[in-house]
Amino acid sequence: METTTAPQVVPAPPQSDRPAKRKRAPLVFGGLAGLAAIAGTVFGLLTYGKESTDDAQVEGHVMTVAARIPGQVARVLVEDNQAVNAGQVIVELDKEELSARLDAAQADVASAEASLSLAQAQLALTERNIAANLKQAHGGLSQAASGVESSKAQQDQARADMAAAESRIKFAKVDLDRVKTLLASGSVTQAEVDGRQAAFDQAVANLEQARAHVENTKAGIAGNYAGVEQAQGRLAAADTGPQQVDAAEASVQLAQARLKQTRAAAELAELNLSYATIRAPVRGVVSRRNVEAGNLVSPELPLLAVVPLEDVWIVANFKEDQIGEMRAGQRASIRLDTFGRRTFAGHVESIAGGTGARFALLPPDNASGNFVKVVQRVPVLIRIDDRAGLEFRPGLSADVTVTVR
């Protein structure tokens, strides 16, 4: 037997409520639209002539400190995050070997200075000896030439004396023969004959003496000629004086070059000794310290970094459609997440010459592959005018708004 269920009848709402709700709906929508319009107007008025971005961060210098010479670390005088002043000693290397090298270099300098003094003395002595030898050679040549002339004159005199002695012999011979004839006739005495004989013998002796004098003058002339040749040889030797002086001057120049080389080596050794004391390049905070006492270090290994917190700026990456009216010198307001909603004043210092993508390691090439347009960003350097004594650390996030109108 089938049972039939009667349909339930839902009572209709009262007819008096529907018109009221229909009347309120336009009012609600209108109010919301009005509020949206007011909010849009206020937002437009507040942002008119301004460009903002939250793609910004604090930037600053990161001074990497490394050893300028290889060596072993003796002491590390700073810790991570420690504030240091410019010139403060932060690391010291072992100095014993460097000090020994400096002592050896200074000893080489002293030796080179002594060698230079010796070479200069040799040069002065050579110049004096050359001048004296040249003067002596000229004097010896003049004296030898004068001796030759004097010997020739003596030879002429000796020959004249010999000729006179020969004449006197002839006269004495004739006189002796005459008195001997007269002695035979008894006209003269034997004493007169003996006198004439003595005169003859004296004339013979004078002739022999004159001949000996002639031979002596010949020997004197030969000796004087030998003296002339010897003086000419000395003069020729003295003529090589410029070459000897040049050689001595070359020795002086070589000693000067050696001295200059040793002094440079000593200066380098002194510099290397000073490099064993590593100082902070600027005033800042020590970061990324990775050196300990006993480590072997070299110039290519960084020891630590010093971040100067006094010299920082903001790099804001604006979209390419935001920088059309942006210029250097325009006012900017900066907010950092670190300091909440506090606002700092700044200004635009410069705008980068290209987009960030253009300076990437692998810049995009739109001519290859499928092209997809991506809004590019251009780095803008914002200089902070007043930090109110607060520390801005590189890497902090920032919101930047630039007034372009």
Q: 251 lies in a domain?
A: yes
List the CATH number of the domain containing 284. Answer: 2.40.50.100
Is the same domain home to 243 and 189? yes
Q: Are residues 107 and 236 in the same domain?
A: yes
pLDDT at 359 over 90: no
SS3 content of the chain, % helix, strand, coil (to 5): 50, 20, 30
Q: The domain spanning residue 357 has which CATH number?
A: 2.40.30.170
Query: For residue 138, is pLDDT > 60?
Result: yes
Residues 298, 149 within the same domain = no
Distance CA 92, CA 76 (A): 7
In what side-by-side order are the strands of the sheet with 83-84?
63-66, 302-307, 284-287, 83-84
Q: Are residues 117 and 259 in the same domain?
A: yes
pLDDT score of 361: 83
Long-range contacts of 350-357 (CB under 8 A, 24+ apart): 350/380, 350/381, 351/323, 351/326, 351/378, 351/379, 351/380, 351/381, 352/378, 352/379, 352/380, 352/381, 354/378, 355/320, 356/317
Confidence band (pLDDT; 50, 70, 90) for 64?
A: very high
Q: pLDDT at position 178, please?
A: 76
Residue 233 confidence (pLDDT) above 70: no
Contact 401, 49 (CB under 8 A): no
Does residue 394 form part of some domain?
Answer: yes
Give the length of the chain. Answer: 405
**Is 10 inside a domain boundary?**
no
The verdict on residue 1 lying in a domain is no
Residues 162 and 238 grouped into a single domain: yes
Domain span holding position 69: 64-95+273-305
Q: Is 343 among the domain residues?
A: yes
Give the per-residue pLDDT at 53.
Answer: 95
Residues 68, 185 within the same domain: no
Residue ending a domain, among 265, 290, 321, is 265
- Is 46 domain-assigned? no
294-346 pLDDT tens trace: 999 999 999 999 999 989 999 999 999 999 999 999 999 999 999 988 999 99
Please give the pLDDT value at position 225: 67
pLDDT in tens, 29-46: 777 777 787 777 666 555
CB 291: neighbour CB atoms within 10 A?
A: 20
What mean pLDDT is reported for the chain? Answer: 83
Q: Work out how many domains the chain is built from and give that number.
A: 3
pLDDT at residue 140 in the model: 62
Tell me which amino acid residue 215 is.
Answer: E
**Residue finishing a domain among 213, 248, 265:** 265
Question: By mean pLDDT, which of 104-113, 150-159, 161-170 is the weakest?
Answer: 150-159
- DSSP character at residue 288: S
Whether the per-residue pLDDT at 71 is higher than 90: the answer is yes
Per the model's pLDDT, the better-predicted residue between 363 and 354 turns out to be 354
Within this chain, do residues 107 and 248 fall inside the same structural domain, yes or no?
yes
User: Are 177 and 120 found together in one domain?
Assistant: yes
Whether residue 363 sits in one domain with residue 383:
yes
Residues 78 and 186 in one domain: no
* Statement to judge: residues 277 and 315 lie in one domain: no
Is residue 4 situated within a structural domain? no
